[in-house]
Amino acid sequence: MTHQTTVAILGAGSMAEALIGGIAKTNGGKAPHITVLNANNRKRLNQLHAAYGVHAAQSYEEAVKGKDVIVLAIKPHNVQEVADSLVSLLDPQKQLVISVAAGIKLETLESWLPADTAVIRAMPNTSARVLASATTLSIGTYATEWQLAFAKTLFSSIGTVTVVDEQQMDAATGIAGSGPAYIYYVAEAMLNAAIAEGLSPAEARALINQTIGGAAKQLSNSSKSPKDLYKEIMSPNGTTEAAIAHLDHSSAQELFQQAIHQAVKRSAAIGASFERDPIHKHQ
Protein backbone atom coordinates (compact mmCIF):
# COMPACT_ATOMS: atom_id res chain seq x y z
CA MET A 1 0.00 0.00 0.00
CA THR A 2 1.43 3.38 -0.99
CA HIS A 3 1.14 6.59 0.99
CA GLN A 4 -1.19 8.04 -1.65
CA THR A 5 -3.80 5.36 -1.07
CA THR A 6 -6.69 6.38 1.16
CA VAL A 7 -8.77 3.82 3.02
CA ALA A 8 -12.08 4.14 4.84
CA ILE A 9 -12.85 1.49 7.42
CA LEU A 10 -16.48 1.27 8.44
CA GLY A 11 -16.61 -0.35 11.85
CA ALA A 12 -14.36 -0.13 14.87
CA GLY A 13 -14.51 -3.58 16.44
CA SER A 14 -11.76 -6.10 17.02
CA MET A 15 -11.30 -6.93 13.33
CA ALA A 16 -11.16 -3.26 12.36
CA GLU A 17 -8.56 -2.55 15.01
CA ALA A 18 -6.54 -5.61 14.02
CA LEU A 19 -6.42 -4.32 10.46
CA ILE A 20 -5.66 -0.74 11.52
CA GLY A 21 -3.00 -1.86 13.98
CA GLY A 22 -1.33 -4.14 11.48
CA ILE A 23 -1.22 -1.46 8.80
CA ALA A 24 0.00 1.13 11.30
CA LYS A 25 2.92 -1.10 12.29
CA THR A 26 4.14 -0.94 8.70
CA ASN A 27 3.86 2.86 8.75
CA GLY A 28 5.76 3.85 11.87
CA GLY A 29 2.91 3.08 14.23
CA LYS A 30 0.43 5.55 12.75
CA ALA A 31 -2.11 5.42 9.93
CA PRO A 32 -3.30 8.95 9.11
CA HIS A 33 -4.35 7.82 5.61
CA ILE A 34 -7.09 5.68 7.20
CA THR A 35 -10.50 7.12 8.00
CA VAL A 36 -12.70 5.23 10.45
CA LEU A 37 -16.42 5.53 11.04
CA ASN A 38 -18.29 3.86 13.87
CA ALA A 39 -21.79 5.24 14.07
CA ASN A 40 -22.62 3.94 17.53
CA ASN A 41 -19.54 4.66 19.63
CA ARG A 42 -17.69 7.97 19.37
CA LYS A 43 -15.51 7.10 22.36
CA ARG A 44 -14.20 4.07 20.49
CA LEU A 45 -13.30 6.26 17.50
CA ASN A 46 -11.40 8.63 19.77
CA GLN A 47 -9.46 5.69 21.19
CA LEU A 48 -8.44 4.56 17.71
CA HIS A 49 -7.47 8.10 16.76
CA ALA A 50 -5.28 8.41 19.85
CA ALA A 51 -3.67 5.01 19.32
CA TYR A 52 -3.08 5.05 15.56
CA GLY A 53 -3.64 8.58 14.28
CA VAL A 54 -6.59 7.58 12.11
CA HIS A 55 -9.11 10.20 11.08
CA ALA A 56 -12.42 9.77 12.90
CA ALA A 57 -15.29 10.52 10.52
CA GLN A 58 -18.66 11.89 11.57
CA SER A 59 -20.74 10.58 8.66
CA TYR A 60 -20.76 8.06 5.83
CA GLU A 61 -20.22 10.86 3.34
CA GLU A 62 -17.16 12.14 5.18
CA ALA A 63 -15.82 8.61 5.56
CA VAL A 64 -16.07 7.40 1.97
CA LYS A 65 -15.91 10.53 -0.20
CA GLY A 66 -12.79 10.43 -2.34
CA LYS A 67 -11.40 7.29 -0.71
CA ASP A 68 -9.76 4.66 -2.88
CA VAL A 69 -10.91 1.70 -0.81
CA ILE A 70 -13.83 1.20 1.56
CA VAL A 71 -13.50 -1.70 4.00
CA LEU A 72 -16.69 -3.03 5.57
CA ALA A 73 -15.39 -4.27 8.92
CA ILE A 74 -18.79 -4.78 10.47
CA LYS A 75 -21.00 -7.61 11.65
CA PRO A 76 -22.88 -9.46 8.91
CA HIS A 77 -26.30 -8.35 10.15
CA ASN A 78 -25.27 -4.69 9.73
CA VAL A 79 -23.90 -4.91 6.20
CA GLN A 80 -27.12 -4.38 4.26
CA GLU A 81 -28.06 -1.28 6.26
CA VAL A 82 -24.59 0.20 5.74
CA ALA A 83 -24.62 -0.71 2.05
CA ASP A 84 -27.94 1.10 1.65
CA SER A 85 -26.35 4.19 3.19
CA LEU A 86 -23.48 4.02 0.69
CA VAL A 87 -25.52 3.63 -2.51
CA SER A 88 -25.70 7.36 -3.28
CA LEU A 89 -22.11 8.01 -2.18
CA LEU A 90 -20.01 5.44 -4.04
CA ASP A 91 -18.36 5.88 -7.42
CA PRO A 92 -18.17 2.38 -8.96
CA GLN A 93 -15.64 3.60 -11.51
CA LYS A 94 -13.12 4.70 -8.91
CA GLN A 95 -13.71 2.90 -5.62
CA LEU A 96 -13.16 -0.63 -4.38
CA VAL A 97 -15.30 -2.12 -1.62
CA ILE A 98 -13.75 -4.86 0.51
CA SER A 99 -15.97 -6.79 2.91
CA VAL A 100 -14.61 -8.72 5.87
CA ALA A 101 -18.09 -9.69 7.06
CA ALA A 102 -18.24 -13.45 7.51
CA GLY A 103 -20.52 -15.42 5.24
CA ILE A 104 -21.99 -12.72 3.01
CA LYS A 105 -21.52 -13.67 -0.63
CA LEU A 106 -20.09 -11.47 -3.35
CA GLU A 107 -23.30 -11.67 -5.37
CA THR A 108 -25.28 -10.45 -2.37
CA LEU A 109 -22.87 -7.60 -1.70
CA GLU A 110 -22.98 -6.56 -5.36
CA SER A 111 -26.79 -6.54 -5.27
CA TRP A 112 -26.75 -4.14 -2.32
CA LEU A 113 -24.30 -1.67 -3.89
CA PRO A 114 -24.48 0.50 -7.03
CA ALA A 115 -24.33 -1.38 -10.33
CA ASP A 116 -20.83 -2.43 -11.41
CA THR A 117 -19.25 -1.75 -8.01
CA ALA A 118 -15.94 -3.56 -7.59
CA VAL A 119 -16.20 -5.86 -4.57
CA ILE A 120 -13.68 -8.17 -2.95
CA ARG A 121 -14.50 -10.48 -0.08
CA ALA A 122 -11.79 -10.90 2.55
CA MET A 123 -11.44 -13.05 5.62
CA PRO A 124 -8.50 -12.00 7.78
CA ASN A 125 -8.07 -13.13 11.35
CA THR A 126 -7.15 -11.30 14.53
CA SER A 127 -3.49 -12.28 14.25
CA ALA A 128 -3.39 -9.17 12.06
CA ARG A 129 -2.53 -7.39 15.31
CA VAL A 130 0.91 -9.01 15.21
CA LEU A 131 1.22 -8.93 11.40
CA ALA A 132 0.51 -12.67 11.22
CA SER A 133 -3.00 -12.93 9.77
CA ALA A 134 -3.83 -15.72 7.36
CA THR A 135 -6.18 -13.82 5.03
CA THR A 136 -8.23 -15.31 2.20
CA LEU A 137 -9.58 -13.21 -0.66
CA SER A 138 -12.21 -13.78 -3.35
CA ILE A 139 -12.76 -11.41 -6.25
CA GLY A 140 -16.17 -10.16 -7.36
CA THR A 141 -17.65 -9.81 -10.83
CA TYR A 142 -16.51 -6.23 -11.46
CA ALA A 143 -13.22 -6.10 -9.58
CA THR A 144 -10.18 -5.92 -11.82
CA GLU A 145 -6.93 -7.82 -11.54
CA TRP A 146 -5.31 -4.56 -10.52
CA GLN A 147 -7.80 -4.16 -7.69
CA LEU A 148 -7.17 -7.72 -6.58
CA ALA A 149 -3.44 -7.00 -6.60
CA PHE A 150 -4.12 -3.92 -4.50
CA ALA A 151 -6.16 -5.91 -1.99
CA LYS A 152 -3.38 -8.49 -1.80
CA THR A 153 -0.90 -5.72 -1.05
CA LEU A 154 -3.19 -4.25 1.59
CA PHE A 155 -3.69 -7.51 3.44
CA SER A 156 -0.08 -8.61 2.94
CA SER A 157 0.82 -5.77 5.30
CA ILE A 158 -0.77 -7.80 8.10
CA GLY A 159 0.30 -11.34 7.19
CA THR A 160 -0.13 -13.84 4.37
CA VAL A 161 -2.76 -13.77 1.63
CA THR A 162 -4.36 -16.68 -0.20
CA VAL A 163 -6.75 -16.09 -3.10
CA VAL A 164 -9.51 -18.70 -3.36
CA ASP A 165 -12.66 -19.26 -5.39
CA GLU A 166 -15.65 -18.02 -3.46
CA GLN A 167 -17.07 -21.51 -2.97
CA GLN A 168 -14.03 -22.16 -0.76
CA MET A 169 -14.54 -19.09 1.42
CA ASP A 170 -16.77 -20.79 3.99
CA ALA A 171 -14.13 -23.47 4.53
CA ALA A 172 -11.42 -20.82 4.74
CA THR A 173 -13.49 -18.93 7.29
CA GLY A 174 -13.87 -22.04 9.44
CA ILE A 175 -10.16 -22.81 9.25
CA ALA A 176 -8.35 -19.48 9.22
CA GLY A 177 -10.94 -16.89 10.20
CA SER A 178 -11.88 -18.73 13.40
CA GLY A 179 -8.57 -20.59 13.64
CA PRO A 180 -6.78 -18.46 16.24
CA ALA A 181 -9.63 -19.12 18.67
CA TYR A 182 -9.02 -22.87 18.39
CA ILE A 183 -5.37 -22.40 19.30
CA TYR A 184 -6.29 -20.19 22.26
CA TYR A 185 -8.80 -22.83 23.35
CA VAL A 186 -6.07 -25.48 23.34
CA ALA A 187 -3.75 -23.07 25.15
CA GLU A 188 -6.40 -22.57 27.83
CA ALA A 189 -6.67 -26.33 28.33
CA MET A 190 -2.88 -26.61 28.59
CA LEU A 191 -2.77 -23.69 31.05
CA ASN A 192 -5.44 -25.21 33.28
CA ALA A 193 -3.66 -28.57 33.20
CA ALA A 194 -0.31 -26.99 34.02
CA ILE A 195 -1.71 -25.16 37.02
CA ALA A 196 -3.49 -28.30 38.21
CA GLU A 197 -0.17 -30.14 38.01
CA GLY A 198 1.52 -27.55 40.23
CA LEU A 199 3.05 -24.93 37.95
CA SER A 200 2.40 -21.27 38.67
CA PRO A 201 0.26 -19.38 36.14
CA ALA A 202 3.27 -17.31 35.07
CA GLU A 203 5.47 -20.37 34.60
CA ALA A 204 2.74 -22.20 32.73
CA ARG A 205 2.02 -19.26 30.43
CA ALA A 206 5.68 -18.81 29.53
CA LEU A 207 6.11 -22.50 28.73
CA ILE A 208 2.89 -22.74 26.72
CA ASN A 209 3.53 -19.57 24.71
CA GLN A 210 6.98 -20.78 23.69
CA THR A 211 5.77 -24.31 23.01
CA ILE A 212 2.96 -23.18 20.70
CA GLY A 213 5.17 -20.62 18.99
CA GLY A 214 7.92 -23.19 18.48
CA ALA A 215 5.52 -25.77 17.10
CA ALA A 216 4.08 -23.20 14.67
CA LYS A 217 7.60 -22.38 13.51
CA GLN A 218 8.31 -26.07 12.98
CA LEU A 219 5.16 -26.45 10.90
CA SER A 220 6.14 -23.45 8.78
CA ASN A 221 9.74 -24.52 8.26
CA SER A 222 9.23 -28.25 7.71
CA SER A 223 7.83 -30.12 4.74
CA LYS A 224 6.71 -32.90 7.09
CA SER A 225 3.04 -33.43 7.88
CA PRO A 226 1.68 -32.55 11.32
CA LYS A 227 1.31 -36.28 12.01
CA ASP A 228 4.96 -36.92 11.13
CA LEU A 229 6.02 -34.14 13.47
CA TYR A 230 4.08 -35.39 16.47
CA LYS A 231 5.09 -38.99 15.75
CA GLU A 232 8.73 -37.90 15.99
CA ILE A 233 8.12 -36.84 19.59
CA MET A 234 6.44 -40.11 20.57
CA SER A 235 8.82 -42.71 21.95
CA PRO A 236 7.48 -46.17 22.92
CA ASN A 237 5.86 -46.09 26.36
CA GLY A 238 6.84 -42.43 26.69
CA THR A 239 4.99 -39.39 27.98
CA THR A 240 3.89 -38.06 24.60
CA GLU A 241 2.63 -41.46 23.50
CA ALA A 242 0.53 -41.67 26.67
CA ALA A 243 -1.00 -38.25 26.00
CA ILE A 244 -1.72 -38.87 22.30
CA ALA A 245 -3.19 -42.30 23.06
CA HIS A 246 -5.64 -40.67 25.47
CA LEU A 247 -6.57 -38.01 22.90
CA ASP A 248 -7.11 -40.68 20.26
CA HIS A 249 -9.21 -42.76 22.65
CA SER A 250 -11.34 -39.66 23.28
CA SER A 251 -11.73 -39.03 19.53
CA ALA A 252 -10.17 -35.59 19.92
CA GLN A 253 -9.38 -35.19 16.22
CA GLU A 254 -12.90 -36.12 15.21
CA LEU A 255 -14.29 -33.60 17.71
CA PHE A 256 -12.05 -30.90 16.29
CA GLN A 257 -13.09 -31.71 12.74
CA GLN A 258 -16.75 -31.61 13.76
CA ALA A 259 -16.22 -28.27 15.49
CA ILE A 260 -14.60 -26.77 12.39
CA HIS A 261 -17.42 -28.15 10.26
CA GLN A 262 -19.87 -26.29 12.50
CA ALA A 263 -17.98 -23.06 11.83
CA VAL A 264 -18.05 -23.73 8.07
CA LYS A 265 -21.78 -24.50 8.19
CA ARG A 266 -22.42 -21.32 10.15
CA SER A 267 -20.55 -19.23 7.59
CA ALA A 268 -22.63 -20.76 4.80
CA ALA A 269 -25.85 -20.23 6.75
CA ILE A 270 -25.03 -16.57 7.33
CA GLY A 271 -24.52 -16.14 3.59
CA ALA A 272 -27.75 -17.93 2.74
CA SER A 273 -29.74 -15.82 5.17
CA PHE A 274 -28.74 -12.63 3.35
CA GLU A 275 -29.27 -13.73 -0.23
CA ARG A 276 -31.58 -11.42 -2.10
CA ASP A 277 -33.50 -11.69 -5.35
CA PRO A 278 -31.54 -9.97 -8.17
CA ILE A 279 -34.49 -7.66 -8.92
CA HIS A 280 -33.48 -5.65 -5.85
CA LYS A 281 -30.11 -4.79 -7.35
CA HIS A 282 -29.36 -1.07 -7.38
CA GLN A 283 -29.18 0.45 -10.84
Same domain, 109 and 241: no
Q: Residue 73, annotated ligand binder?
A: yes
CATH number for the domain spanning 195: value is 1.10.3730.10
Consult the annotation and say whether 14 binds a ligand.
yes
Confirm whether residue 15 is marked as ligand binding: yes
Question: Residue 272: inside a domain, yes or no?
Answer: no
Residue 28 marked ligand-binding: no
Q: Binding residue per annotation — 10? A: yes
Is 12 labelled as part of a ligand binding site?
yes
Domain membership of residue 80 as a residue range: 7-165
Q: Is 13 annotated as contributing to ligand binding?
A: yes
Tell me: do 151 and 197 sit in the same domain: no
19 is in an annotated binding site: no
Entry pTM:
0.87
Residue 21 lies in a domain: yes
What string of H, E and C letters represents the secondary structure of the chain? Answer: CCCCCCEEEECCCHHHHHHHHHHHHCCCCCCCCEEEECCCCHHHHHHHHHHHCCEECCCHHHHHCCCCEEEECCCHHHHHHHHHHHCCCCCCCCCEEEECCCCCCHHHHHHHCCCCCEEEEEECCHHHHHCCEEEEEEECCCCCHHHHHHHHHHHHCCEEEEECCHHHHHHHHHHHHCHHHHHHHHHHHHHHHHHHCCCCHHHHHHHHHHHHHHHHHHHHHCCCCHHHHHHHHCCCCCHHHHHHHHHHHCCHHHHHHHHHHHHHHHHHHHHHHCCCCHHHCCC
Same domain? For 21 and 148 the reply is: yes
Would you write out the chain's pLDDT as a tens digit for each of its 283 residues?
444 678 999 999 888 888 888 888 877 888 888 999 987 778 899 899 999 999 999 999 999 999 999 999 999 999 999 999 999 999 998 999 999 998 899 999 999 999 999 999 999 998 988 889 999 999 999 999 989 998 998 899 889 999 999 999 999 999 999 999 999 999 999 999 999 999 999 999 999 999 999 999 999 999 999 999 999 999 999 999 999 999 999 999 999 999 999 999 999 999 898 875 444 455 5
155 and 183 assigned to the same domain: no
In-domain check, residue 135? yes
Is 179 assigned to a binding site? no
